[in-house]
């Protein structure tokens, strides 16, 4: 370790700024004569037209995330190509802002430009470990939130025909999806919600698309997130906590077809169904439609069989009921006939009794009538008076001098009225 050198100055014997910067440069270069390995996060990265790469490295605080250290760095054109290619080949991720790196730097100080770090090497295994660490943190956070299985617990709509697609309209993956799903005879209703599927703005763009679909939830049966193949860094977007959290809690089933076979993103893990490619997503929806059609065909057959069995059973019941009705009707008619016979006998007996009584009453009446006949009355000593055809019943029915006939039982006499006395 270099021994510290005390520098004494006074108002009369001061240093110039250049002297101070030159002394700092000397101290830095003597202290860091050899390259050192440091870990930091790339906050900015610009590739100059000359081929040089300029970066800004930061180390953030553990509490508020504010930078606790910051420095400029560069990779000269002569080594940038080899370093960048090696890093991307190992990690699948190009050098870009937002990733943590372990770099080997030459520390230098310039009197005008200040401290700078020249990157001469990068260890990709550190970045891979950091990416996996973030990924594990996202998974643990989603599980702690209690949303890990929420989307998978939803059921597909029956039928699943109204599809909201999150993708770039110009992406090859979206074209593959449309071409595949257009081959079938089913009438899918597809609505695209355009989104950036990579880059720094990709996260917000996908989240905004999900929010837009949620506002029209009743118009769709399912959501498909589609992206064709890409680098690991591009697809790392779907390890985002915000995107994965939105998918996990989305009110409709979400199907992912992000198009990478080697790795499974966190979004794939929380989605209802994960497919390897956009074409596979289209195939899934066609298979669901096939299953629904087969289910309907099965139900149709079952309904037909049930209907046939029901008709057969009802026919047998009708035959059985017809026999029962015939038997019951015959028995009922026989009972009624028997009752009618009894009623007829009763009526006949009653009528016969009534006729006998009436005949007897008539006979009695005839006796009474006979007893009041003229002959019988005359036999009792009575007489009948009449003048011609006129019957005389009262004294006032005749006049003095009138010739009358008096009829007795055994004959009649003629008389003349001499005197009339009334009471």
Task: Provide the token pair at 39.
Answer: 């870990």
Query: If we measure between CA atoms, which residue out of 206, 261, 258, 204 comes closest to residue 235?
Result: 258
Q: Say yes or no to pLDDT of 2 above 60.
A: no
Average pLDDT score over residue span 100-110: 91
CB atoms within 10 A of CB 326: 10
Q: Where residue 1 falls among pLDDT bands split at 50, 70, 90?
A: very low
What are the pLDDT digits (tens) for 145-161? 999 999 999 999 989 99
What's the mean pLDDT when you consider all of the chain?
87
Digit-coded pLDDT (tens) for 311-323: 999 988 888 888 8
Of 129 and 355, the structure prediction assigns the larger pLDDT to 355
Most confident listed range (55-64, 257-266, 367-376)? 55-64
Residue 53 has pLDDT above 90, yes or no: yes
CA distance 179 to 151: 27
- pLDDT band with cut points at 50, 70 and 90 for residue 185: confident
Give percent of the chain above pLDDT 70. Answer: 94
For the chain, the domains span 17-136, 147-290, 376-416
Regarding the domain delimited by 147-290, which CATH topology (the fold level of the hierarchy) does it fall under?
Rossmann fold (3.40.50)
**Strands (E) located in 271-375:** 273-275
pLDDT band at 261 (very low <50, low <70, confident <90, very high): low
Whole-number pLDDT of residue 88: 84
Q: pLDDT per residue over 25-40, tens digit each?
A: 888 888 888 999 999 9
With a CB cutoff of 8 Å and minimum separation 6, the contacts of 157 are: 221, 222, 253
Q: Could you tell me the end-to-end alpha-carbon distance of the chain, in angstroms, rounded to an integer?
A: 187
Flag the least confident range among 103-107, 234-238, 417-421.
234-238
| 273-308 per-position pLDDT tens digit | 999 899 999 999 999 999 999 988 999 999 999 999
Domains 17-136 and 147-290 share a fold: no
Instruction: Report percent pLDDT > 90 for the chain.
Output: 41
267 in Cβ contact with 247 (< 8 Å) = yes
pTM: 0.56
pLDDT tens per residue across span 368-405:
777 767 777 777 778 888 888 888 888 888 888 889 88
Give 17-136's CATH code, choosing from 2.40.50.140, 3.60.20.10, 3.30.300.340, 3.40.50.10490: 2.40.50.140
Span 59-73, average pLDDT: 80
What are the structure tokens assigned to 289, written together?
């439609």
Contact 53, 74 (CB under 8 A): yes
Residue 5 has pLDDT above 70, yes or no: no
* φ/ψ of residue 20, rounded to 5: -65, -45
pLDDT value at position 13? 84
What is the mean predicted confidence (pLDDT) over 56-75? Answer: 83
**Mean pLDDT, residues 345-364 taken together:** 88
Torsion of CA 318, 324, 327, 329, to 10 degrees: -80
CA 105, chain centre distance (Å): 59
Give the pLDDT mean for 193-215.
Answer: 90
At residue 72, the pLDDT reads 93
């Amino acid at each position: 370790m270099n021994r510290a050198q005390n520098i004494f100055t006074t108002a009369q014997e001061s240093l110039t700024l250049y002297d101070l910067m030159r002394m700092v440069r000397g101290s830095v270069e003597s202290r860091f004569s050899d390259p050192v390995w440091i870990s930091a996060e790339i906050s900015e990265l610009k590739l100059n037209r000359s081929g040089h790469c300029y970066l800004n490295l930061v180390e953030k605080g553990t509490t508020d995330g504010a930078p606790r250290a910051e420095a400029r760095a560069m990779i000269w054109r002569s080594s940038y190509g080899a370093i960048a290619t090696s890093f991307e080949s190992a990690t699948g991720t190009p050098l870009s802002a937002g990733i943590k790196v372990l770099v080997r730097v030459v520390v230098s100080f310039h009197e005008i430009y200040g401290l700078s770090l020249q990157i001469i090497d990068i260890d990709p295994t550190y970045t891979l470990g950091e990416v996996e660490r973030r990924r594990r943190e996202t998974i643990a956070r989603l599980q702690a939130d209690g949303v890990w299985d929420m989307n998978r617990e939803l059921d597909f709509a029956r039928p699943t025909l109204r599809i909201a697609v999150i993708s770039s309209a110009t992406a090859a993956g979206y074209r593959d999806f449309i071409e595949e799903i257009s081959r079938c005879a089913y009438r899918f209703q597809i609505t695209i919600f355009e989104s950036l599927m990579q880059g720094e703005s990709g996260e917000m763009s996908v989240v905004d698309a999900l929010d837009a679909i949620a506002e029209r939830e009743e118009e769709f049966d399912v959501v498909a997130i589609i992206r064709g193949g890409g680098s690991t860094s591009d697809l790392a977007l779907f390890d985002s906590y915000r995107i994965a959290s939105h998918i996990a809690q989305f009110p409709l089933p979400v199907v992912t077809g992000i198009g990478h076979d080697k790795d499974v993103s966190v979004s794939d893990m929380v989605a209802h169904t994960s497919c390897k490619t956009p074409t596979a997503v289209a195939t899934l929806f066609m298979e669901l439609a096939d299953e629904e059609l087969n289910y309907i065909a099965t139900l149709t057959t079952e309904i037909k069989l049930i209907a046939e069995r029901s008709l057969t059973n009802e026919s047998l019941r009708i035959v059985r009921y017809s026999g029962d009705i015939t038997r019951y009707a015959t028995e009922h008619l026989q009972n009624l006939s028997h009752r009618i016979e009894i009623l007829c006998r009763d009526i006949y007996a009653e009528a016969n009794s009534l006729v006998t009584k009436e005949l007897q009453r008539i006979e009695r009446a005839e006796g009474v009538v006979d007893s009041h006949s003229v002959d019988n009355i005359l036999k009792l000593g009575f007489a009948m008076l009449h003048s011609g055809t006129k019957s005389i019943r009262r004294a006032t029915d005749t006049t003095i001098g009138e010739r009358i006939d008096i009829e007795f039982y055994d004959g009649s006499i003629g008389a003349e009225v001499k005197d009339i006395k009334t009471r």
